[in-house]
Structure 1
């Protein structure tokens, strides 16, 4: 090679590296030139990457998209300003991201229990369902989380089951014309909660018998209450429409606890699941290092093919 040509190629290569480095550090943070390609639709939530992206929700959504996350969930979406809801919906659409769950506002997980069969409780729930339809339109959502409430200890369990099924049937009637789905979430937070196990939730969905009433299988909660994750997911699979993630103990990102998430995600992928897996957990470490650890953990457990 002639000396002049060698020098020209060296200069061009150095320039290309410099430009790539500049593009990878826009806005003072390291950004991959191409988003990572995940096998499943993992959905972060607001605050998970605020040390990298800042406090603005739109900036946080942009950062999630830059990292390759193709979905997003926001439990508190119903409480946000209409203008922000609209802007968040537009941002998700721009990135081709799927909107995951938000919680139907009925006053809290333990409040206004549907198991009691009281008209005033059901009315509050149905009002939340109607308002949720309008929110879903703004953010292009399909799934909304519903927690039926606490046990009504003065009633037989069978009567409570019937009360919950009847209330959810009325909620499904609101969602069905819009193609929306309420997903019932069994929780491990308190023995006073009515809905705690996957088989119980499966029975309730069969009783409601609607495409608008399905299961939210939260892996963290159900590892605590029943374990045997893949087996129980298989038993209830035809009613599962949404999945949430959190390792146990601690409810942090995968690889921080006892759950073999690589195997679980491989099984879910082999089932042909095309829905959202909500990252409903905290970060095990603080600040930017902790946020990067979350991203790295998902890359690790998603590497199952």
Structure 2
């Protein structure tokens, strides 16, 4: 059975962020993910997870100034110290929240830095993070993202991501496969997931076009969910989409995977 987790950055957006934990539990989700926890106290978030019986599946490493358009700093040569400090902060939060996976966003490639330096910076940062996370009992994930939504993003495809993982030389680095992003960049979803299944630690979803819930676009999610079960994917699938109306109104597609408590 496909295991769905709610991305609280995207879902239940009509509510204050801290109220979304209860809403996710009431909707039948047993696990959650979100972009960043760092604006909140660790104990406050841990209390909400325990109170509502939720597992924290994933959050991201610090990714720079999100409000100013930064989408990660791992490929930026002049931000290595900040990146390494952020790894320590992320580990502290992950331990407090019982989170066993952290995702790294590579960032937008700087136009004034040589391509080989951008790549070598990212590889070195991935190696550092993977090593630190391994010692902490946490897996490092790397996510390719489409360049329609984030122009200039450095990591944009499955093969590129796997080559970066190979270059960093760690067995504690995995692919985070976002179905929406990869539909836009490369397609061939089912075959790609099956081919690289041992290297995929987490999957996320949204339909295309629009990045709304499954059933609103071109992606055949009933087929993909059956495919994931057939090939033996046993990880979580994060619901990282923009509800077409409200989250609750649009959850019909997930009825067979959730057990609402309210």
TM-score over 0.5 for the pair: yes
**Is the deviation greater in 68-77 or in 242-251?**
68-77
Matched residue, 1:187: 145
Cα 1:79–1:56, aligned 2, differ >3 Å: closer, same or farther? closer
**Equivalent pair of 1:254/1:301 in contact (CA under 8 Å):** no
Look up the SS of the partner of 2:102 in the other structure.
strand
Kindly indicate whether residue 106 of structure 2 is the aligned counterpart of residue 148 of structure 1.
yes
**Secondary structure, in 3 states, of the residue corresponding to 2:180?**
helix
Please identify which structure carries the higher helix content.
1
Q: Taking CA–CA contacts closer than 8 Å with sequence separation of 6 or more, which of the two structures ends up with the larger relative contact order?
A: 2
Q: Give the Cα separation in 2 of the matches to 1:275 and 1:224.
A: 23
2:128 to 141, 157, 170: 170
The match for 1:98 is: 55
Question: Where do 4+ consecutive residues of structure 1 move more than 6 Å?
Answer: none
Residue 148 of structure 1: how far off its partner (Å): 1.2
> Per the alignment, in what secondary structure is the counterpart of residue 69 of structure 1?
coil
Match of 2:4 in 1: 42
Matches within 5 A, 1:289-304: 290-299=246-255
Shift of 1:266: 1.1
* Structure 2 spans left out of the alignment, 5+ residues: none
Q: Deviations over 1:198-227 (max 9, x none)?
A: 110111112223243211111111111111
Q: 1:291 to 1:115 in 2, by over 3 A?
A: closer
Tell me if the contact between 1:186 and 1:198 (Cα under 8 Å) persists in the aligned partners.
Answer: yes
Distance in 1 between the 2:71 and 2:180 partners? Answer: 22
CA contact (8 A) 1:71 1:98 kept: yes
Q: How many residues align?
A: 252
1:18 corresponds to: none
CA distance in 2 between counterparts of 1:110 and 1:55 reads: 23
CA distance in 1, matches of 2:209, 2:257: 17
TM-score scaled by structure 1?
Answer: 0.74
1:84-233 matched pairs, under 5 angstroms: 84-91=44-51, 95=53, 97-107=54-64, 108=66, 110=70, 113-116=73-76, 118=77, 120-153=78-111, 157-188=115-146, 189-233=149-193
- In structure 1, stretches of 5+ residues that fail to align are 1-38
In the aligned structure 2, how far is the partner of 1:142 from the partner of 1:72?
12
CA RMSD of aligned residues (A): 2.5
Distance 2:119 2:193 in 1: 21
State the distance in 2 between where 1:272 and 1:91 align.
31
Aligned to 1:253: 213
